[in-house]
Structure 1
Amino acid sequence: MITVERLAKKFSMRGSSLTAVDDVSFEVGNGEICVFIGPSGCGKTTTLKMINRLIAPTSGRVLIDGQDTRQLDTVSLRRSIGYVIQQGGLFPNMTVEENICIVPKLLGWDKARYRKRAHDLMEMVSLDPGQFLSRYPRELSGGQQQRIGVIRALAGDPPLMLMDEPFGAIDPIIRASIQDEFLKLQKEVKKTILFVSHDLDEAVKMGDKIAIFQAGKLMQIDTPARILSYPANDFVRKFVGRDSEFRRLSLISASEVVRRDVQPARASSDVGSMSGFFGGSALIPVVDDDNRLVGSVNTNTIVERRGRMMEHIAEDFPFALETDDLRYVSTIMMKLKVDVVPCAAKDGSYLGVIDRLSISARLNEVPV
């Protein structure tokens, strides 16, 4: 656990004093990701750097599992904490393997152990060790460099990681895939992570907690759902924006609201047999004999309600997977002007449907 107690940092500048961090206190539990976010110059990066004493606090203290970091040797402290910065921060004159193995070597690991560690970590982030370990950073894409930067921070198996806008310099499409990959990795390694970001959507997606800073002060720290639903003050309310409820949809999976009592149509069924769906705008789920979702029929597009369901299936039919979030499902609803969307399991089997009423009811629940 990370415990920060009344942490402060003042910088002297030309005879005057600038307070960068002002009386900040919080706790982050073992295995949690806490994302620091706020306007430029709000103190989030300074706070992060005081955790491993890259910047010495003016006052206050940091406890790691109950131990005051002021009582620890600074070099040993930093070696025990993984650190990731924008663009990976790889040493250009070292191979990928040499970059990954820096901390394990400093910790005194034998060669066989640290080389195996590099090999295993490369596989964990879906990079072929045989193809990439001997390369230099200049031979990698930006996304590949960022993945190497993350696993380099993991190489010494630190319990704590600090990440300073690690995905900020990557284009949005690659960033989303790396975020997903990192969250999968986190489920395996279960590190305690403090993560600086400038992107609220990233904070909502990545964080078990979000800490919002303004002018050196901590405005609010809580779960993403509670911050979006119950902002502590006007600053937080403006920071999360008027679309905070829409952002909350990204925290809820389709599986949480799927209605499993709705019977699908068979591909060979008569359209007329599905008359119950025609009371509103819907994507009628269509399944095969193995109950696998094979299509959907948009009630808005059926002019004559006759014939077989298979004749009306859209070529590229939209549906929700149980792992999709409700923000994506709502986008389908808005785009196609429907109130009901089919939902399938990962293996393609039909689960049920998601409707607007279920989404509204879920949003009206008190977030944990």
Structure 2
Amino acid sequence: MFRHLFRLIWNKRKHNILFLSEILVSFLVIFAISSMLVFYYLNYIKPSGFEHERVWSISYTNPLKTKDRDTLATFYGQVKSALASVPQIEEVSFSSYNYPYSNSNSTSGFEYNGKKYNRVNFYQVDEGYDKTLSAKVVEGRWFKKEDRIMKSNPTVINTTLKEAIFGSQSAIGKLIGDDKAKIIGVVEDIKTAGDYWPAGQGMFKMLDSGSFEWIGTILIKVSDKADAAFESRLSKLLARTIPGSNIEIKHLTEMRESKNADTVIPVIICGIVAGFLIINVALGLFGVLWYNISQRRGEIGLRRAIGASGSSVASQLVTESLLLATLSIIVGSFFAIQFPLLNVFDLPSSVYFIALLLSILFIYILVILCSLYPGRQAAAIHPAIALHEE
């Protein structure tokens, strides 16, 4: 049977080129959309690694003209104490600009055992950062105040970097980088770029007294009683505590929604465009199949006249469509497989393979739906009328 079908397809190869082209284009579009959706979904289901609720960020400019480290450390130590004394504030932490959802990045790189690790997210924080964000330390410990004066250059890394370097082995006590940073803890991945993006490899360093000259972010965790009125009082307190500074207060909850919207909106737009394309392709497939039936009325009438049932005629047309779709899928899969092989866009191979399976399934469903009704119409052709027309 399949040999006969392939012979029919080959004999009508000029008429089938349009069908094959539409399926191939649809497959590649669905593969691209599926890859994007799978990538975002796999990241979305992973835990964020911290709690953004009731966490506010305070951006400020340094009003002090001095570069003396002791003066800076004393001044901002008083600022931190003033904020910590407010009943509605539970935790206070200084941070570099690349805190969660801040649209700011800082990367670094190093070499370990002859292997280079590039584009490692680099965070500079203080000892209160983990409590402010409710970060989870899975191995070792977080920073302490005493770490500021330690010569071992203590460092905390996230689980992604730990697994990339050490695998299942313990990372505590290991030295990494040219500065021989000593790993004292491993923290659960913190997704700073939004729910739909991976945390990536990350390392945390302790802020020293010289850092207060350039950092401009304070993270605070507030209580449930913190409302708009409290935010107004907090702004006035900061204006008195850091006079001459430009201060801006943001809520991480709102920043998260904005960050996620930056990802979701383009996906929705691409989905709408792809949806219109698929609808046009489906209408095109429907029209091509309908045209093929009208051109093969004599063949169908002859088959019905020699005893073929209506269901066998319909199943033949559906099977022919599926075989044509399979040929297009084989060609499309060749191009799709190049993405994980060439590591295009630096995405995990599992994303492409899942997207490939979803695309194949979608194309088969689309072809079956588009060929069912024309197949039923072909099955309803009366043999005497079809032969008479011929």
Q: Same fold (TM over 0.5)?
A: no
Larger relative contact order (CA 8 Å, sep ≥ 6): 2
Report the TM-score when normalising by structure 1: 0.26
* Structure with greater helix share of residues: 2
More strand by share: 1
Rg (Cα) greater in structure: 2
**TM-score, length basis structure 2:** 0.25
